[in-house]
Structure 1
C-alpha cells in the first residue's frame, strides 16, 4: 500500500489545495504502479505552522514542501524506473499545486519497506499467501 506523507507549511493549505494535491499525487503513483494501486494510495497532510519550523537554527523559517512515499520494496524491482519517475512526478505534483517557486527545493524521499517489515491486518506481507 503506497503511503504519501506531505509535510508543508500550514499557511500553504487553503482547503482547496489539498484535494488538487491528493489527486495529483495519486495520479503520479498510479502512472508508475498501474491502475490497481489507485484505491490503495493513502495520503496524509502534515501541515505545520511556519512558527514551528526551524531551518539553519532560525525558528519561523519553513522549508520547501516535502513528500515521503513508503511502499513495499519489491515495487522498485518490478518497475525498474519507478524511483526516477516517482521523484519527478511527486515533485511536479507539489510544484503545480503549491507554486512553481518551490520546485527547486521540493524534497522527495522514497522508502521501500521489505515484506518481512511490513504488515496489514497483523500479518507480515512475507507470510501472506
Structure 2
C-alpha cells in the first residue's frame, strides 16, 4: 500500500486539497498501475503560518516535503533504479502541477522503506 504524507504550509494547501489528492493518486497509478488507485493513501499535513522556517526565519511559502512509504522489497527489484526515478519524478510533477511550477526544483521526496513484516492493519501483520 503506497502511503504519501505531504507537508506544506496551510496557506499554500488551502483550496488545493482535492486536486493534490487526485494528482498524487494519479502519480502512484502512473507508476504502479490502476490497481494502486484503491490502496493509495494520501495524508496532507498543513503547517500553520509562522511554523515553518527557512534560514532561521518563518516563511510565507515553503517547498513541500513528501514522505513516500514504500515496501523495502521495491529497492531489490532489477528495475529499482528506474522505479525510484519514476516515483520521485511523477510525485514531484503532481505537487508542482497543483501548487505551482515555481516550487518544482525545491520539492523534496523522501522514499521511506518498510521491511517485510513491519506493517499491520487492524492489529494484524500484513504479509508481503
**Bucket of the pairwise TM-score, normalised by the shorter protein:** 0.7 to 0.9
Bigger proportion of residues as helix: 1
Gaps of 5+ in 1: none
CA contact (8 A) 1:51 1:59 kept: yes
CA distance in 2, matches of 1:32, 1:117: 23
Query: How many aligned residue pairs are there?
Result: 126
Q: Which residue of 2 aligns with 1:37?
A: 36
Query: Normalising to structure 1: TM-score of the pair?
Result: 0.87
CA deviations on 1:18-46 (whole Å, 9 max, x unpaired) are 11111111111111112221111111111
Unaligned runs of 5+ in 2: none
Question: Once superposed, what is the RMSD of the aligned Cα atoms?
Answer: 1.8
| Corresponding residue for residue 47 of structure 2 | 48
Partner secondary structure for residue 109 of structure 2: strand
> Partners in 1 of 2:124 and 2:45 — Cα distance?
28
2:12, 2:61 within 8 Å by CA — same for their partners in 1?
A: no
Which runs of at least 4 in structure 1 moved beyond 6 Å after TM superposition? Answer: none
Q: 1:102 maps to which residue?
A: 103
